[in-house]
Structure 1
Amino acid sequence: MRLCTRNEVKRVNPSVLIVDDSAAVRGFHGSILRNVGFEVEEAANGYEALEKYLAKKFDLLLVDVNMPKMHGYELIRQIREQELHGFVPVIVISTESGENDYLEAFRVGANLYLEKPVDPICLQLSAKMLTGIR
């Protein structure tokens, strides 16, 4: 039996689903994460994100709070109830900055809360930390 060497092991880039009703924000966050090796998919609202989550395993979710059709907190709550593909880390990225916003995000299952506008380096480091990539 032959073992694979380190150079023969194919690396798979971690996948992230970016959920925000603003195409500009999705593009900005996607660009930041593509620069450090993430495969990026986007959803414009919570319903679209839930459909994508049910169809595919993601390594990370970035979720806005205030969106049409399904609020970000409701999306996280439903994902945590399903845990269809096992545990997936969730970063909430929002303009909301009150203590109650943070508490609600963590209550429904978010792992991290970042305020917009997000610092690109902070987003990259947070995403890498939560997905375990170097």
Structure 2
Amino acid sequence: MKLRPKNTSFTKSQRKKRFLVDLDSSKICSVNKLTFGSMGLMLLEDSFIQAKHFKIAYDFLKKNISKRGLFWILKFPDQSFTKKPLGSRIGKGKGNVAFWAIFVNKGNVFIEIESDSYQKSILLLKKLEKRFPFSGKIISN
């Protein structure tokens, strides 16, 4: 699984503006629908999802889902975040890339699952939700 973009024009980018809009149910109806699977994990709060969280989700689902089951991770970490070394002084340019992440607003579907067992897919999504730093909600068709 890719955890960063393959080619970027500039690896060190400026932070994007985060438009923290209070999304009520009338505005998020087009965002929180499932497109591929029958069940999904929807975010209930705005959060940064780092590449390590994508890796955790991919490894967990790859290990625990049956051979007939499918899963889709719908987001991708395309924003780089830099950090200066701890002992360095002020100045001398921007720091090295520390991690890749993406900012996701609440109401977006993060993971979708198609499985033969309804109960097993609910159990998988509940276990997976505990491994993330954000709260989520399990939705189904």
Give the TM-score band, short-chain normalised.
under 0.3
Q: TM-score normalized by structure 2?
A: 0.24
Q: TM-score normalized by structure 1?
A: 0.25
Greater fraction strand: 2
Greater fraction helix: 1
